[in-house]
Structure 1
């Protein structure tokens, strides 16, 4: 199965569960609790029960994959079934919604690892949409605008996955909103089951954005084909993890790099993560590593390139934590990088993004000479505050 970057479903690797999941997510969760790997949480147990029910209903699930259509656009159009006529026996999916750090991704990983479905994929939703746009672009380049790219895109997706598990389901981009309704309608018509985690209820997706009225049918479709469940855990386990980590490492040597590696793995469950990109206003912001709402950059990746406030805002709203390697000393000699760094920290601070970094010195001594040294005093103050337990306890603002 193709999982190259050009595949429509190049999957983000899921964390490997420490306990066997062969009997489903609920026994796996209870085994983790019994082994002392995690604490018991009634809200997580309720969600695991719901996922266990879906696990039972999807055992052996394998909807028929139609052969590629050769009859052109009209043939594909008349072959499509509306959602109301989706394959008999298609199980409803599950949309698990709750605040950051409540264990949604962990629960979905337990479900995904145990799911007895021959064709299944788990990936970050933003990654899925990037790949969908890429495939649509390639289709139009090959076939022109006279044919509809959505049915063949859906065909290619269902050929690889009858079960799709999406982490961090969010819709911020108008380009995503424009295709989601038709793409998901086509996937549901082909019998695809979708499980998703999100910080946002379906009714609040794309809220306050221009063009939302045209997005409302997609929300109705989601609520019809995917059961929504709130995960009401009172405890933020992600914040518990980061509050136990040192967040500022001096100097940026091998020891600091290993500390940042360990922090990234602790927060994401992954030693290395794939790259991704954020697309806004026709531009792409490259993220060298991204997983579970955590982005990792070298300083030059994010401050050595011509990025601006809108780019840093996109990073701050998409990621709850940034791991930043090798912040240098700042001065008029690297004024452009210093200015971008100030803008980046302003965006992260305003959105309560958590920062784990290595640097040449403590914040107060990073920028000590030149005309902008006084301006940097506010940034240094914010960097110091961002290391405090009070700041680390604050929720991320998207």
Structure 2
């Protein structure tokens, strides 16, 4: 009998959120040595070289800072800016490089997505979050993005205090730090916070085509309902849900629980996929897509093709990059699902 995600109600405490702040299974084995820069895209090799250099510094045991350095809030010896920020498109290896930096660095260290970081602060509260996270030497933040004013103010305060305490940062994003929030809210009203965030980072651009789709079709043809249901029945620990049931259920769960929703799931089936009309539904599905991709869970769908799930007006709006990332990842998982 297939698993029904819409019938699961996971509970996730702050202890679990902290314990899961490591690279996801897909990136558990990556290293700088396994990154293959595209010779036609020099920015990839340049980013690799700079991160290897920074990793060499972070691989050394943490040094105790002098009283003067602590009073000044200076970061420990190393690059002038306490943060490194990889800006680039989808599928160019930014997460591979970020996870590689985490692996080579001496602890204590933390790895999370931006959404996981905001969820963690929400679970702990700002004061406790600063106290707990200040113990880390390095915090790696994947998919850095600002979706609303609340996140902007919260993360600005948090990272400002962490940097002052000597924590080093590394982040990936599809948007330059000075342009975070554009098209999503009145970013001009929060220029001080956004510019403050940008000031923490040494920014490097990394270019190239999405490796997940080099030579692959835009999206595989959807299966019939019967095919998706049959695959879910035959595969161990597979789920199968109607699309409407699934997105209604996601609305009742905090996004911090989407990872736990997938505990033990080895394949996902979705029936009657439809073109989205609600931005809130679309954004929840982006988070679910990220958690599925982290866990390398194959996907099978019926209904509209995946590349028609986000309508043209959404793909032109403020969340365009989020939706394109989700499509890139879902199509990669669907291609795997078709082969099994």
Shorter-normalised TM range: 0.5 to 0.7
Q: Which of 208, 216, 236 is equivalent to 2:210?
A: 236
Say if 1:249 and 1:357, in contact at 8 Å, map to a contact too: no
Offset of residue 190 of structure 1: 1.2
Offset of residue 325 of structure 1: 4.9
Say if 1:95 and 1:196, in contact at 8 Å, map to a contact too: yes
Match in the other structure for 2:191: 216
Match in the other structure for 2:279: 310
- Inter-CA distance 241–118: structure 2 relative to 1 (3 Å threshold): farther
Match in the other structure for 2:88: 98
Q: Which of 103, 121, 124 is equivalent to 2:110?
A: 121
- Inter-CA distance 169–283: structure 2 relative to 1 (3 Å threshold): same
Say if 1:203 and 1:219, in contact at 8 Å, map to a contact too: yes
- Inter-CA distance 166–357: structure 2 relative to 1 (3 Å threshold): closer
Q: Select between 189-198 and 9-18 the one with higher mean Cα deviation.
A: 9-18
Match in the other structure for 2:158: 183
- Inter-CA distance 243–103: structure 2 relative to 1 (3 Å threshold): farther
Q: What TM-score do you get using the length of structure 2 for normalisation?
A: 0.64
Gap runs ≥5 in structure 2: 1-11, 239-248, 293-297, 316-323, 336-340
- Inter-CA distance 219–98: structure 2 relative to 1 (3 Å threshold): same
Please give the alpha-carbon distance, in whole angstroms, between the structure 2 residues aligned to 1:258 and 1:100. 33
What secondary structure is seen at the aligned counterpart in 1 of 2:228?
coil
Please give the alpha-carbon distance, in whole angstroms, between the structure 2 residues aligned to 1:236 and 1:174. 30
What secondary structure is seen at the aligned counterpart in 2 of 1:127?
helix
1:58 aligns with 2:48: no
Q: List aligned pairs for 1:126-137, cutoff 5 A.
A: 126-136=115-125
Q: Which of 164, 168, 187 is equivalent to 2:143?
A: 168
Please give the alpha-carbon distance, in whole angstroms, between the structure 2 residues aligned to 1:166 and 1:301. 34
Please give the alpha-carbon distance, in whole angstroms, between the structure 2 residues aligned to 1:174 and 1:258. 46
Aligned length, in residue pairs: 277
- Pick the structure with greater CA Rg: 1
What secondary structure is seen at the aligned counterpart in 1 of 2:207?
coil
Q: List aligned pairs for 1:35-54, cutoff 5 A.
A: 40=39, 42-54=42-54
What secondary structure is seen at the aligned counterpart in 1 of 2:140?
strand
1:11 aligns with 2:21: yes
Please give the alpha-carbon distance, in whole angstroms, between the structure 2 residues aligned to 1:93 and 1:242. 35
Question: Which deviations, in whole Å up to 9, do the C-alpha atoms of 1:235-254 show, x marking residues without a partner?
Answer: 22122286397453340145
CA RMSD of aligned residues (A): 4.6
Q: Which of 93, 102, 106 is equivalent to 1:112?
A: 102
Offset of residue 215 of structure 1: 2.8
Please give the alpha-carbon distance, in whole angstroms, between the structure 1 residues aligned to 2:185 and 2:280. 19
Match in the other structure for 2:73: 85
Structure number with the bigger relative contact order (C-alpha 8 A, sep ≥ 6) is 2
- Inter-CA distance 357–209: structure 2 relative to 1 (3 Å threshold): closer
What secondary structure is seen at the aligned counterpart in 1 of 2:199?
helix
Say if 1:54 and 1:93, in contact at 8 Å, map to a contact too: no
